[in-house]
Amino acid sequence: MSWWKEGVVYQIYPRSFADSTGNGVGDLKGIISKLDYLQELGVTIVWLNPVYASPNDDNGYDISDYESIMAEFGTMEDFDALLAGLHQRGIKLIMDLVVNHCSDEHPWFIESKDNPDSPYRDYFFWRDGVNHQPPNNWVSVFSGSAWQYHPESEQYYLHLFSKKQPDLNWENEALRKDIYAMMRRWFDKGVDGFRMDVINMISKNPELPSVGDPSQLEWGGQHFMNGPRQHEFMREMHEQVLQHYNCMTVGECFDVDVEEGKKLVGADRKELHMIFQMEHMALDHGDTKWDVQPTWSRVALKQILNRWIQGLDGDGWNSQFWMNHDQPRAVSRFGNEQKFRIESAQALAAVTLTLPGTPYIYMGEEIGMTNVQYSIEEYKDLETLNWYNEQLQKGAEPKSLMRSIHLMGRDNARTPMQWNDQEHAGFTTGNPWLKVNPNYPEINVARAQQQPQGIWPWYQSLIALRKENKVLVYGRYTPIMESCEQVFAFLRDQNETKILVLVNLSDEKAVLDLPNHIVNTPWQVTLNNYDSMTMSELLPWQAIIMRTE
Ligand code: ISL
């Protein structure tokens, strides 16, 4: 029995969680001050976004020292105290591992840039240009060419993200050894696992070929997503590091299908425990995330999740989430933040916490925090700002750009945690690094905890339910009403125990069309986010969980 299968994860974006110093930036002591809060909620695993030394071009995803703590967040002593405080409460800690790239201020990169003959030159992808143009036509995730010219050495380096995030060359064995040694040191300190940033991008086609018309920027994913040595690297990491610890691993993986996912998490593969597959994060948009569609299909959602659940069944393990620090707020995106904020947040929670796979809660989800609609000057996220500027240059209308940013921008998830109705929502006594959502007088932890029918106690109950009912962890999964555009319904069962989950993911009442054997089962209602219920109809965003004795 693995602890990471039975656990419930709570993701903390440290910059935005709690500020103990008044400088407007969340920090480790701030997190320490909220440990009892986490325990009360009931979560058993915390995932921290990067807390390592970083110039913060991408809020810590550009790491300049993997083994020290970002000064803004505190010290290594603070980190040790945080780890100890979590462990005292029976909560595990998983860290973010960002090893597709580092910062251009990391000593490896500085050495590789200043001294082309150094062994560190090959830790990165340095290449000659072609006719004074970059070595290939790949576009960066954060807009523009994925190559940056360095005049002194007359070469370019590859950066699939920002130019302050040079890609690390995993072909180089010394680099891999350095990474594994660093990981072991964190494990030896006592951390319990890693969430691995864009881990299926680490193996590149060494020839780094252009895609399509070399004069146009193109997404080069076919040459670096799930690349030729991906599984070899994962197995090596497992052999040299992971297998020696009772740890948990979860890889962030864009563009994986179930077949590829199985190779990463298959029980006998000796690679990872879980991945975040991202297919359902694309349900509501076109080719790019900024091309937002007015609605999304519940049937398609169920097809995606069911395909993964059934595809990995008995072999790998799933992870369940509605959002993270890169995604819009779940209740704004998949629920109805206006008319049914409480009910829809509850309905969404009921799904993630009862499906097979480990559930992940992103900070603020437990109080139904929502998206924001700021003016462009108020945003901090480089992805958002780069895209906005690029589109403006191409002649796009600011109004339509802002519409996309309001719906999809990453800062939606990163606004400070809303603790109470005091100034800045109790997040800081200073000026918050990113503006607090103006709805904090209404939506905040202090208030949510006082609402017995509200979102916070609902999360608390769901987490407790999952802990007490191992059928929700290990039980069989049978989807019901798969072609219904409103209801997400399924049965979990193990031995004699059955749990039935009925969730209306829509603003309208929904007819329940349940098989006879389910209607005829003597159910006890365990959770219901309305006062009433029937077996023939669900109210808007009604979520009911029933159990056999
Ligand atoms: O959010 C995204 C798409 O919806 C991308 O912008 C995002 O960069 C991609 O999901 C990869 O994310 C991870 O790596 C990035 C970092 O900026 C993200 O915060 C991280 O989760 C680079 O390290």
Residue 308, ligand 1, Cβ within 6 A: no
Of 60, 76, 72, nearest to 185 (Cα)? 76
Looking at the structure, tell me whether residues 226 and 130 fall in a common domain: no
Smallest CA separation from ligand 1 atom 20, residue: 197
The token duo for 355 is 């499906």
Query: Does the residue 358 lie in any domain?
Result: yes
ipTM of the complex as predicted: 0.97
User: Coil, strand, or helix at residue 522?
Assistant: coil
96 lines ligand 1 (CB under 6 A): no
Instruction: Find the CATH number of the domain harbouring 339.
Output: 3.20.20.80
pLDDT at residue number 429? 98
Q: Is 383 touching ligand 1 by the criterion CB < 6 Å?
A: yes
Residue found under tokens 């010394």: 174
Residues 371, 426: one domain?
yes
User: Residues 33-40: what's their mean pLDDT?
Assistant: 98
Q: Determine, yes or no, domain membership for 307.
A: yes
Query: CA-to-CA distance for 187 and 94, rounded, in angstroms?
Result: 10
Task: Taking residues 493-505, report their average pLDDT.
Answer: 97
pTM above 0.95, yes or no: yes
Per-residue pLDDT band at 1 (split at 50, 70, 90): low
544 close to 518: Cβ distance less than 8 angstroms:
no
Residue with CA at minimum distance from ligand 1 atom 5: 326
> 371 and 515 in one domain?
no
Strands 510-511 and 537-538: antiparallel
Tell which atom from ligand 1 comes closest to the C-alpha of 281.
Answer: 4
Residue bearing the CA closest to ligand 1, atom 7: 326
Distance CA 520, CA 544 (A): 17
Does any ligand 1 atom lie closer than 6 A to the CB of residue 279?
A: no
Task: Indicate if 42 and 183 belong to the same structural domain.
Answer: yes
Radius of gyration of the CA atoms of the chain, in A: 23
For residue 294, give its domain range.
Answer: 3-101+173-379+413-457
Domain CATH code at residue 543? 2.60.40.1180
Is there a single domain that holds both residue 49 and residue 154? no
The span from the CA of 158 to the CA of 149, in Å, is 9
Shared domain check, 200 and 58: yes
**Which of 64, 103, 141, 333 has most ligand 1 atoms within 8 Å of CB, for mutation?**
141
In a domain, 349, yes or no: yes
| CA distances to 144, 159, 162, 377, 397 from 389, in Å | 11, 19, 14, 12, 11
User: 502 C-alpha vs ligand 1 centroid, how far in Å?
Assistant: 33
The neighbour count for residue 338, using CB atoms within 10 Å, is 10
Q: In angstroms, rounded to a whole number, what is the distance separating the alpha carbons of residues 199 and 203?
A: 9
- 89: exposed, middle or buried (C-beta count within 10 Å: 0-12, 13-18, 19+)? middle
Mean pLDDT of the chain: 98
- Is there a single domain that holds both residue 220 and residue 189? yes
> Residue 167: CB within 6 Å of ligand 1?
no
- Whether residues 97 and 143 fall in one domain: no
Active site residues: 197, 252
Query: Is the Cα dihedral 537, 542, 548, 549 positive or negative?
Result: negative
Structure tokens at 372: 């924001």
- Model confidence at 541: pLDDT above 90: yes
CB-based contacts of 329, cutoff 8 Å, min separation 6: 323, 337, 364, 365, 369, 370, 371, 412, 413
Average pLDDT of 100-117? 98
Question: How many Å lie between the centroid of ligand 1 and the Cα of residue 289?
Answer: 12
- Pairing assessment for the beta strands 92-97 and 319-320 based on DSSP bridges: unpaired
* CA 138–ligand 1 middle distance (angstroms): 17
Can you tell me the mean pLDDT for 132-149? 97
How many Å apart are CA 497 and CA 514, to the nearest integer?
A: 19
Beta carbons of 206 and 171 less than 8 angstroms apart: yes
Distance of CA 132 to CAs 136, 146, 156, Å? 11, 15, 10
Tell me, using a 6 A CB cutoff, whether residue 197 lines ligand 1: yes
Which of 403, 430, 457 finishes a domain?
A: 457
pLDDT digits (tens, 9 = 90+) for 370-381: 999 999 999 999
Q: Is residue 397 part of a domain?
A: no
The CA 139 to ligand 1 mean position distance, Å, reads 15
Q: Is there a single domain that holds both residue 96 and residue 115?
A: no
- Long-range contacts formed by 149-155: CB under 8 A, 24+ apart: 150/113, 150/126, 152/113, 153/113, 153/116, 153/126, 154/128, 155/116, 155/126, 155/127, 155/128, 155/129
Does 44 map to a domain?
A: yes
Distance 197 CA to ligand 1 centre (A): 8
> Does 211 lie in the same domain as 312?
yes
Q: 98 CB less than 6 Å from ligand 1? A: yes
pLDDT at position 474 is 98
Q: Does residue 367 contact residue 418 with C-beta atoms inside 8 Å?
A: yes
Query: Residue 150: inside a domain, yes or no?
Result: yes
Measure 1 CA to ligand 1 centroid, in angstroms. 32
Mean pLDDT for 98-111 is 98
Among 525, 549, 547, 548, which residue's Cα sits nearest to residue 538? 525
Task: Let me know if 182 is exposed, middle or buried by CB neighbors in 10 A (0-12, 13-18, 19+).
Answer: middle
The alpha carbon of 22 and the centre of ligand 1 are apart by a number of angstroms equal to 28
**In the predicted model, what is the mean pLDDT of residues 30-47?**
98
pLDDT tens by residue, 284-342? 999 999 999 999 999 999 999 999 999 999 999 999 999 999 999 999 999 999 999 99
Residue 279 domain-assigned?
A: yes
State the total domains in the chain.
3
**Do 254 and 119 reside in the same domain of the chain?**
no
* 71 domain residue, yes or no: yes
pLDDT for position 549: 77
pLDDT tens-digit profile of 399-441?
999 999 999 999 999 999 999 999 999 999 999 999 999 999 9
Last residue of a domain, one of 457, 492, 511: 457
Average pLDDT over residues 146-171: 98
Whether residue 225 has pLDDT greater than 70: yes
d(CA 358, CA 274): 9
Determine whether the shortest distance from the Cβ of 198 to ligand 1 is under 6 A. yes
Reduced to 3 states, what is the DSSP secondary structure of residue 184? Answer: helix
- 266: pLDDT strictly greater than 70: yes
58 lines ligand 1 (CB under 6 A): yes
Residues 31, 46, single domain; the answer is yes
Helices (H), ranges, 394-546: 398-408, 411-414, 445-449, 455-468, 471-474, 516-519
pLDDT per position as a tens digit, 3-14: 999 999 999 999
